[in-house]
Amino acid sequence: MPRLIKWGVLGLGKIAHKFVSDLQLVADCKLEAVASSNTARAAAFAGQHGATRFYGSYQDLFADDQVEIIYIASLNQDHYAHTLAALKNKKAVLCEKPLAINQKQVLEMIRCAREHQTFLMEGLWTRFNPTFGQLQQWIAGGEIGALRYLNATFSFNGLAYGIDSRLFNPDKAGGSLLDIGIYPLFLAYQLLGIPKSIQASAVKAPTGVDEQIAMILSYDKAHAILYSSFSHNEDMRVTICGEEGEIYMDSRWHESPRITLVKGDKQTLKEFEFQGKGYTYEILEANQCLRNDQQESSKWSLQNSLDLVQLMDQIRGETGIKFPME
């Protein structure tokens, strides 16, 4: 029987609830302990999801010798400090995206993971789902030929949350790029690699972070047109065109179970039955890495996370977006 992996969760907001509901669906792992800055929230969360222990301090979670891996679900600006503290306590870490706010932080996190010989992975959950696997299989199998064009976007109406929300707060590393623009950027990077050049244009919120941002990534013989926004809703689909066919990912593409291959007048639709909402696949990957004594995933490596944050740094440089803590 596979070794039981005991999980801890740090930071008990919206995403932690969704993640833990999926964790319960994965075999041979369990929710061991949870920690919040607020003891009452930790107690309520543990009661709702059946965690064995709860803590009103992150340090107590780091000191829990039953916990093998911690899922960091705090806000963007805290990923760095919380991940470093967990790694220094010899805990494996699955950290929410973005792994950190800039390249400098990610480099230090990788250095720390290597020093302590501890597993670290960014929670880029789309990378691990079966729809993405199908996409990669079609592309690697040459189904659409040489890639020439990719169009990926990610938007929702964040204005509805008010300008005071974390989404627009520079002290919380807000802005659409780090929060949701990371998904289209990840897709272009995975399929086309590091671009030769990037052009970007942002509409900024009064707080200085990007409210919406458009990006053109140029490659030798391909373009990726990417966009993210907090200023409106949209039907998020992906178009990927090669010289011999197209692939379309259904709305909302980053979590969609449906993907279509088009070659001339022939269409092939694949639809997957997702386990849970889709966080199950990154959990399975982390569990397997731990059982294999791997310190990083081969599907989404630390170099991949570093490349992605470097692209975000470059785009922020191009559009003049800097966070106060940088």
Ligand X SMILES: NC(=O)c1ccc[n+]([C@@H]2O[C@H](COP(=O)([O-])OP(=O)(O)OC[C@H]3O[C@@H](n4cnc5c(N)ncnc54)[C@H](OP(=O)(O)O)[C@@H]3O)[C@@H](O)[C@H]2O)c1
Question: Could you tell me the smallest distance in angstroms from the CB atom of residue 144 to ligand X?
Answer: 28
Interstrand relation of 120-123 and 92-96 (parallel, antiparallel or unpaired): parallel
Centre a 10 Å sphere on the Cβ of residue 62 and count the other Cβ atoms it contains: 21
Residue 119 vs 125, nearer CB to ligand X: 125
Residue 61 vs 150, nearer CB to ligand X: 61
Dist. CA 203–CA 185, nearest whole Å: 18
Residue 74 vs 287, nearer CB to ligand X: 74
Q: Which residues bind ligand X (CB under 6 A)?
A: 11-16, 36-38, 41, 73-76, 96-97, 123, 125, 166, 179
> What type of residue sits at position 232?
H
Residue 10 vs 113, nearer CB to ligand X: 10
Residue 73 vs 121, nearer CB to ligand X: 73
Q: Are 270 and 81 in contact (CB under 8 A)?
A: no
Residue nearest to ligand X (CB): 13
Q: Containing H/E element for 34?
A: strand 29-35
Question: Could you tell me the smallest distance in angstroms from the CB atom of residue 29 to ligand X?
Answer: 18
Dist. CA 41–CA 48, nearest whole Å: 10
Answer yes or no: 97 catalytic. yes
Question: Could you tell me the smallest distance in angstroms from the CB atom of residue 36 to ligand X?
Answer: 3
The active-site residue, picked from 97, 104, 221, 270, is 97
Question: Could you tell me the smallest distance in angstroms from the CB atom of residue 75 to ligand X?
Answer: 5
Query: Is the N-terminal amide bond of 98 cis, ω within 30° of 0?
Result: yes
Interstrand relation of 222-229 and 210-219 (parallel, antiparallel or unpaired): antiparallel
Interstrand relation of 53-55 and 69-72 (parallel, antiparallel or unpaired): unpaired
Contacts for 106-112 with beta carbons within 8 Å, 24 or more apart?
106/305, 106/306, 106/309, 107/306, 108/80, 108/84, 109/80, 109/83, 109/84, 110/302, 110/305, 110/306, 112/83, 112/84, 112/87, 112/88
Question: Could you tell me the smallest distance in angstroms from the CB atom of residue 285 to ligand X?
Answer: 14
> What type of residue sits at position 197?
S
- Catalytic residues, by residue number, are 97
